Amino acid sequence: FFWQEGNGKVSRVIRIGTRKSQLARIQTDSVADRLKELYPDVHLEIVAMSTIGDKILDTALSKVRVDLVVHSLKDLPTTLPPGFTIGAVLKRENPHDAVVLHPNNAGKTLETLPEKSVIGTSSLRRAAQLKKRFPHLEFRDIRGNLNTRLKKLDEKQDFAAIILAAAGLKRMGWENRISTILEPEDCMYAVGQGALAVEVRARDADILEMVSVLHDPETVLRCIAERAFLRRLEGGCSVPVAVHTQVKDSQLYLTGAVYSLDGSDSLKETMGSAAQVQRVGVTASKIPSDAQDRAERLGMELADLLLSKGAKEILTVARQLNDSR
Ligand code: DPM
């Protein structure tokens, strides 16, 4: 796959797959821009795919139609299909969730919204935590991409507010719609939230080497611990599991929690580890491997602690109730 410039110079063509939503395009463009800066001689081609879904994107990768795909890390399963790996995890945006109010409620907070106000979210994780914390509110599903959700909020009277990841809002240029960023005491975030991941074929050594410079070491270690925690709990991307990670004085701290659907039942613990296999699908050869091992072990040990206290039962019930809705 080579490209001949007008001047006769031949450069390699790298094909980047993206979904068609505005957020997917913005995320893909931001990674493409970084790669262009780093490798001015490489010719990048962005291939928009109408078929939605991570599985289809993996198919696109496996059929050699594209060399890499940019994802929100939180949408990637903790075990990738064989042959694929996460070649880069970029510096995390603000990982917290944000409240976006209906224009009629300007100035309000979740606390001061009237009794029975309806909050839109399809995230079991957000609903479970916020139901417990703000029992006067009601929670209903809201679906569609970010553009659709904002429209549903603003143009109808169905929702008093919706909850979205601050990172997605920022990337869309809608930071001004954020009324409150939720503190971890109110709502902890999803595993990998706010970080972008570059998925590549594990055997494409050149591509792996090329994208690996995009890795942000602190984000990588935090996300390895978070993903190891989720994988050990056997949680998919739609279970009421939440995390919070921090690097302080070279120590990595992981707080993890599981919730029943209404948040009445929950388990939450924190563990620390010195911050420094295929680790939950991430390949980062320039980040010390013992640091990655320790991050992975931290995630697994925290999950084992919660499992010993009954996390499995809470998640099994939550899953069954959710499936029967
Ligand atoms: C996953 C969840 C949601 C997305 C579940 C969760 C939110 C679904 C909803 C796994 N993926 O967070 O508990 O609100 O009904 C998604 C968003 C982003 C990536 C949008 C968002 C952008 C932020 C990022 C959807 N995936 O969460 O507001 O890059 O982390």
Contact by Cβ (8 Å): 95, 74 = no
Residue 262: exposure state from Cβ atoms within 10 A (0-12, 13-18, ≥19): middle
125 Cα nearest atom in ligand 1? 13
Strand partners, 88: 198
Q: What is the mean pLDDT of residues 124-147?
A: 97
pLDDT above 60 for 53: no
Q: Locate the DSSP E strands across 161-259.
A: 161-165, 178-181, 196-201, 241-248, 251-259
Q: How many Å lie between the centroid of ligand 1 and the Cα of residue 165?
A: 6
pLDDT above 90 for 214: yes
What is the pLDDT at residue 52?
A: 47
User: Token pair of 15, please?
Assistant: 């094909």
Q: How many Å lie between the centroid of ligand 1 and the Cα of residue 222?
A: 18
Q: How many Å lie between the centroid of ligand 1 and the Cα of residue 167?
A: 10
Name the least confident of 37-51, 277-291, 294-308: 277-291
193 Cα nearest atom in ligand 1? 30
Catalytic site residue from 33, 41, 75, 206: 75
Name the least confident of 38-52, 191-205, 289-303: 38-52
pLDDT above 60 for 56: no
DSSP for 245-259 reads EEEETTEEEEEEEEE
Which three-class secondary structure state does DSSP give residue 166? helix
Among 30, 74, 129, the mutation site with the greatest number of ligand 1 atoms within 8 A of its Cβ is 74
189 Cα nearest atom in ligand 1? 12
Q: What is the mean pLDDT of residues 215-227?
A: 96
141 assigned to active site: no
The model's confidence at residue 323, banded by pLDDT at 50, 70 and 90, is confident
Q: How many Å lie between the centroid of ligand 1 and the Cα of residue 258?
A: 17
Q: What is the mean pLDDT of residues 174-181?
A: 97
Name the least confident of 109-113, 122-126, 226-230, 280-284: 280-284
The model's confidence at residue 57, banded by pLDDT at 50, 70 and 90, is low
Alpha-helix runs per DSSP H in 106-172: 124-133, 146-155, 166-172
pTM over 0.85: yes
Q: How many Å lie between the centroid of ligand 1 and the Cα of residue 153?
A: 17
The model's confidence at residue 277, banded by pLDDT at 50, 70 and 90, is very low
Q: What is the mean pLDDT of residues 297-315?
A: 96
pLDDT above 90 for 194: yes
**Which protein residue has the closest C-alpha to ligand 1 atom 27?**
165
Ligand 1 neighbours (beta carbon < 6 A): 72, 74-75, 121-123, 125-126, 164-165, 167-168, 190, 193-194, 237
195-to-76, 117, 132, 314 alpha-carbon distances in Å: 11, 31, 27, 27
Q: What is the mean pLDDT of residues 96-106?
A: 98
**Which protein residue has the closest C-alpha to ligand 1 atom 8?**
123
- Calculate what percentage of the chain has a pLDDT beyond 70: 89
pLDDT above 80 for 121: yes
The model's confidence at residue 96, banded by pLDDT at 50, 70 and 90, is very high
pLDDT above 60 for 149: yes
pLDDT higher at 102 or 274: 102
What is the average pLDDT score of the chain? 91
